[in-house]
Amino acid sequence: MFHRLSSQCPWWFVRSFDNPLRRLVQDPDTILRDFVRPGDACLDIGCGIGYFTIPLAALTGPSGRVTAVDLQPEMLAGVAKRAKRAGLSDRIRLHQADVSGLRLDGSFDFALAFWMVHEVPDQAALFRQIQEVLNPGGRLLLVEPIGHVRRAAFDRTLETASDVGLAISKTVTVRLSRAALLTMSGGATRSPTKD
């Protein structure tokens, strides 16, 4: 599933866009607060060095938990450092995926895939693995970079997610991005995306 490792953002490059200035454009609390509730079990897929992981752990509160998933051990080491500094290590579990897939156990209320799905060659396999661990009514916030992912490609990604049972609940506004909230709920229906 993740066999094209050359398409990943290298760990040493992540600090170029994972820095305090980014908060002016993409504030994690603003992006996440409408989707995460205290006590939620959250999944941060392709977590990098924890730009969203740490805010997720704060939003879920003491009774919540976050599983930070990445292929690269250097990224997970970055999350561990940030979690310790923020005093949130007890709420965050680090999980290294491998080329065969996410290899997740447990169940989750909310999953975040921020600027990473376009790096995955087999998106259907990824969405199936996410769907398998989402609780009924579970939510997936899918966000892709507008510079790398054109509208048609994003629409194909949404169709792939829909084909495996993740329905579009609504489109979401995230600066410099194309985004949608998908859900396990049978009540959500597929609707056309807006540019």
Domain 22-183: what homologous superfamily? Vaccinia Virus protein VP39 (3.40.50.150)
State how far the alpha carbon of 194 is from the alpha carbons of 34, 81, 116, in Å.
20, 38, 21
Reduce the DSSP state of residue 56 to 3 states and report it: helix
CA-wise closest residue to 56 among 81, 86, 78: 86
Give the SS3 label for residue 89.
helix
What is the band of 12 on the pLDDT scale with cuts at 50, 70, 90? very low
Angle at which helix 123-133 crosses helix 151-163, to 10 degrees, equals: 50
Tens-place pLDDT, residues 66-83:
999 999 999 999 999 999
What's the token pair of residue 59?
Answer: 């939003």
How much is the average pLDDT of 113-136?
96
Structural domain boundaries in the chain: 22-183
**pTM, two decimal places:** 0.87
Q: What is the pLDDT of residues 138-184, one digit of tens each?
A: 999 999 999 999 999 999 999 999 999 999 999 999 999 999 999 98
Task: State residue 123's pLDDT score.
Answer: 97
Query: With bands split at pLDDT 50, 70 and 90, how would you rate the model's confidence at 39?
Result: very high
pLDDT at 187 over 80: no
Query: CA–CA separation, 192 vs 80, rounded Å?
Result: 39
Q: In one letter, which amino acid is 190?
A: R
Task: Give the contacts of 5 (CB within 8 A, at least 6 positions apart).
Answer: 71, 99
**Which candidate, 22, 28, 14, places its Cα nearest to that of 66?**
28
Q: Three-class SS of residue 59?
A: helix
CB neighbours of residue 54 within 10 Å: 23
Helix, strand, coil content of the chain in percent (nearest 5): 35, 25, 40
